[in-house]
Each structure stands twice: as C-alpha cells, then as structure tokens.
C-alpha cells in the first residue's frame, strides 16, 4: 500500500492508500463519520463507517477533534460527477488527539488571529495566500535565472543609511553601531561590473511608524540591477517579470485563488501591455478624479488607490519630479527637473509594487547629488568608485513581495501576506 500526498490522490482511484493528515473538519451522521482531512498538499474527505471497523476502532474514532493528527488507510474513490475524491477508511491511527482548538468557526478579531499566527497559518485562506506567495517567489527565481541574472546577496548589516538615516533600526555591533538594510540596491550595483545583470531577494527593514494597510517593518524585497540598459529596456524587463509571475500563479494556483474568492479577470489581463503615463499626466488625472494633489507632488497612498481603481492592468508612472526621488536617480535627458524613473502601480486600488530608475553614472554629478542631499560622503566613497572605474549606463528596480502577494490574492491588508508579520506593535509570535 502506498503512502501518498493528497495532491496525488487522483492517480490512486480504486486503490488502497495511506495518508497522514490533520482533521480540518468533521461531522457524523449515524454510524458514518465524515472527516475533512488536510495534509498541507490538499484536502480530501475520509468516510469512516463504524460497521467496517473493529469495535475498539469504532469507539476510538469518536474521540476525534479539530486539528487532530491521524494516519488513515483506505480505498480511494472518485465522485461520479465532480473532480472530487473520497477515501473509504479501512483503518486509522491517531498521532494525537488535539486539545480544543482555539481558532473556531466564529469570527475572531485580527489581534487574536495574529497572536495565534502559528496556528492561523493552517486556515484555508492563509494556506492559499502562502501557496501563492511561494509561486510568486519561485517564478521570480525562474525568471531571473532564465534571463541571465546572477543572485548577489546584499548585506543586512550596514554601516550607514542608504537614503538618509531616518526610519532605520540601529544595532549594537560589537564596539560600534550598525543599521538594518532598507534596500540592497547600492550594493548590488557594484556587482553589475562583475556580472552584468544581478539581483538580490531578501528581507529589508523600515522603522516606520506607519500603521497603514501597506506597511510592515520587515518585508521582502527583490532588487535587480542591469548594466548597459536604458529606462525603456528596464521597464520591459519589469513588465515581462510581473507577467511571468502572474501567469505562473494562474497556472498553478487556481484552487487557491478560488479559496480566496479572487476575481481572476484582472489577473488575466496581464497578457496585455501595461499602461504608461508620466507623473504630470497622473497628477492631472488625479485632480480630475477629485484628489487635492498639487502639481509636482508625490502620490500618497490614497492617490494611488484612487488612480489605480481606474485601471484593469498595472500602470507605469514615469518621470517623477527629481526632487521627490532618491539621489542616485539619473535625470531625464530633456528635462533636468525630472528623474529618469518609473514606479509600477498595481491596478484595482493596490498601488506601488515596483520602483525603478536609470542610475546616475557620472562621478561628478553623483558627488554633487550626495552633497545636495547632505549624505555623508565618506560612507558613499565605495559607491562613487563605481563611477570611476568603468562607469556604464545602468538601471534597476525593486519590487516589494508582500505588495504583489496582496494584490494577486486580493487582500485588504499586507499583514496576511507574510508568514510572521512585524509591525510597529507586533513582534510576536
């Protein structure tokens, strides 16, 4: 008899199999009990007919409780009409009868659920979210590998701030201070001179006191940097990558999307070209929609929501005013007041998922910017070096994994997108 994962059950119709799983639900009707089993790879209904068990086992079966762990052996059958499978239990053995499970069918407050995140992860919606997150991660690695990117892990422990010293977590590092990285971008820029196209993908940190539905203090970011590209090529790669990621989710996670009751129409639009508008067009559109945003201002969270609700596919917003963007962004060739940059906003009210730009590649211009931004030049000497020894036109972008997961899953709040969310008030479990 084969020991199988539930996901493979269709291959075993008419055969006896063994499954190890948890009881996600159970009910009984007379001498027949229905155990809804979950093994992490899928769900299956087990039918426990007392008359087919020994008296001892029949009695034991009544001890079942939610989340008990059990090994069952039985015959696999298929629903005559639907793509559903059942297992007629011949024998079973509990690994453990679970204590009364704290997460029930009643509504729980989000604080209670987050306090019990180690258990909440088991519920079907959370299971679906993490499976989709996993697909998005896998898709990223596949795309980067197939497109000649080399992974260069940037350091988390850094001696200084990448873009200024606010919102940084400080650490005692032996006899000095260190800071948790907000972005690996500057580090991986160094590696394009060795590898041409590189990326990192790891946790980054912001000590932001923001309590919005878009903010975590610890989240995963993928930074990519490419030598010899201009902004247009950069955006093309971003578009291809996001399309590849969403397509893999549509291919592998239809079941999970259904559990989340996600309308997949907007995801299916991903095959179409992304929208593109420049920052001043976006401002005009927002003003027409009733926002009080002024010319030259950055888009706030509410603006992004308002704007992206108008679209059914991601939108590139290009050429923000340089003064509201980071020091390392190159200026637009025809208007020095604009950054040669683009943010990618997810549609349906979700907003920014990628920020990217051409990087300033001229030593003197970059040095001037560092001074203008009052950044400590000493800490950027190594970064300036990259413009002394074979500087090249280059650009890159960074995506926030949790924001992409939130959009793809159609979630209200980013806190459900990561296994163990960290916010200003939450460090546990």
Residues 184-223 that bind its own copies (CB under 8 A): 187, 190-197, 202-203, 205, 207, 209, 217-218, 220
Only one of the segments 50-58, 148-156, 290-298, 314-322 lies at the binding site for its own copies (rule: CB under 8 A); that segment is: 148-156
Question: Counting contacts by CB under 8 A, is residue 119 touching its own copies?
Answer: yes
How far is residue 256's CA from residue 252's CA, in Å, rounded to a whole number? 9
Answer yes or no: are the C-beta atoms of 72 and 115 closer than 8 Å: no
Query: What residues between 295 and 324 interact with its own copies by CB under 8 A?
Result: none
Query: What residues between 64 and 103 interact with its own copies by CB under 8 A?
Result: 67-69, 95-96, 98-99, 101
Query: What residues between 233 and 292 interact with its own copies by CB under 8 A?
Result: none
Query: What residues between 7 and 36 interact with its own copies by CB under 8 A?
Result: 7, 20, 22-23
Only one of the segments 56-64, 175-183, 237-245, 259-267 lies at the binding site for its own copies (rule: CB under 8 A); that segment is: 175-183
Question: Counting contacts by CB under 8 A, is residue 126 touching its own copies?
Answer: yes
Rounded least distance, CB 98 to its own copies, Å: 5
Rounded least distance, CB 337 to its own copies, Å: 25
Question: Counting contacts by CB under 8 A, is residue 388 touching its own copies?
Answer: yes
Answer yes or no: are the C-beta atoms of 36 and 45 closer than 8 Å: yes
Residues 6+ apart with CB under 8 A from 4: 12, 17, 18, 19
For 135, the token pair is 């697909």
Answer yes or no: are the C-beta atoms of 203 and 218 closer than 8 Å: yes
Q: Which of 242, 322, 228 is nearest to 275 (CA)?
A: 242
Measured from the CB atom, is 91 or 218 closer to its own copies?
218
Query: Contact with its own copies (CB under 8 A): which of 174, 265, 273, 336?
Result: 174
Question: Counting contacts by CB under 8 A, is residue 390 touching its own copies?
Answer: yes
Assess whether the previous peptide bond of 429 is cis (omega < 30° from 0). Answer: yes
Other beta carbons within 10 angstroms of residue 175's beta carbon come to 5
Measured from the CB atom, is 64 or 317 closer to its own copies?
64
Please state the φ and ψ torsions of residue 207, each to the nearest 5 degrees: -85, 45
Virtual CA dihedral for 321, 325, 331, 334, nearest 10 degrees? -10
Query: What residues between 345 and 384 interact with its own copies by CB under 8 A?
Result: 382-383
Measured from the CB atom, is 39 or 343 closer to its own copies?
39
Query: Contact with its own copies (CB under 8 A): which of 10, 13, 32, 121?
Result: 121
b vs e for 260-295, b when ≥16 Cβ sit within 10 Å of the residue's Cβ? bebebebbeebeeebbebbbeebbebbeeeebebee
Rounded least distance, CB 29 to its own copies, Å: 24
Only one of the segments 63-71, 257-265, 283-291, 329-337 lies at the binding site for its own copies (rule: CB under 8 A); that segment is: 63-71
Answer yes or no: are the C-beta atoms of 164 and 373 closer than 8 Å: yes
Question: Counting contacts by CB under 8 A, is residue 424 touching its own copies?
Answer: yes
Measured from the CB atom, is 70 or 282 closer to its own copies?
70
Answer yes or no: are the C-beta atoms of 327 and 372 closer than 8 Å: yes
Strands 315-318 and 275-278: parallel
For 14, the token pair is 């008419």
How far is residue 313's CA from residue 271's CA, in Å, rounded to a whole number? 9
Measured from the CB atom, is 134 or 278 closer to its own copies?
134
């Amino acid at each position: 008899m084969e020991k199988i994962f539930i996901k493979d059950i269709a291959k075993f119709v008419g055969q006896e199999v063994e499954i190890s799983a948890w009881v996600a639900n159970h009910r009984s009707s007379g001498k027949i009990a229905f155990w809804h089993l979950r093994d992490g790879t899928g769900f299956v209904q087990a039918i426990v007919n007392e008359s087919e068990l020994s008296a001892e086992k029949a009695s034991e079966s009544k001890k079942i409780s939610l989340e008990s762990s059990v090994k069952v052996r039985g015959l696999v059958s298929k629903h005559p009409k639907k793509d559903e499978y059942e297992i007629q239990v011949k024998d079973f053995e509990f690994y453990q009868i679970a204590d009364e499970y704290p997460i029930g069918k009643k509504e729980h407050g989000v604080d209670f659920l987050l306090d019990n995140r180690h258990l909440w992860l088991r519920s079907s919606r959370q299971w679906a979210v993490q499976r989709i997150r996993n697909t998005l991660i896998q898709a990223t690695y596949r795309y980067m590998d197939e497109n000649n990117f080399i992974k260069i892990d940037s350091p988390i422990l850094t001696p200084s701030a990448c873009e200024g010293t606010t919102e940084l977590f400080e650490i005692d590092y032996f006899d000095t201070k260190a800071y948790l990285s907000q972005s690996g971008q500057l580090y991986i820029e160094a590696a394009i001179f060795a590898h041409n196209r590189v990326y990192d993908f790891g946790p980054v940190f912001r000590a932001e006191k923001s309590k919005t539905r878009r903010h975590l203090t610890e989240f995963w970011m993928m930074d990519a940097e490419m030598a010899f590209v201009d902004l247009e090529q950069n955006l093309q790669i971003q578009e291809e990558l996001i399309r590849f990621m969403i397509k893999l989710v549509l291919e592998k996670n239809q079941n999970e999307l259904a559990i989340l009751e996600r309308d997949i129409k907007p995801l299916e639009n991903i095959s179409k070209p992304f929208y593109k508008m420049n920052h001043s067009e976006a401002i005009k559109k927002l003003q027409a929609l009733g926002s009080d945003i002024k010319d030259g201002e950055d888009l706030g969270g509410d603006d992004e929501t308002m704007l992206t609700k108008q679209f059914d596919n991601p939108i590139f917003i290009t050429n923000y005013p340089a003064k509201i963007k980071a020091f390392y962004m190159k200026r637009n060739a025809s208007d020095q007041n604009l950054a040669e940059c683009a943010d990618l906003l997810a549609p349906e009210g979700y907003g920014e998922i990628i920020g990217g730009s051409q990087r300033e590649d001229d030593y003197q211009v970059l040095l001037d910017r560092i001074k203008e931004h009052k950044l400590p030049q000493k800490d950027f000497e190594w970064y300036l070096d990259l413009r002394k020894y074979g500087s090249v036109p280059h650009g890159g972008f960074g995506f926030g994994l949790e924001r992409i997961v939130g959009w793809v899953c159609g979630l209200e709040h980013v806190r459900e997108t990561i296994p163990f969310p960290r916010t200003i008030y939450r460090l546990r479990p």
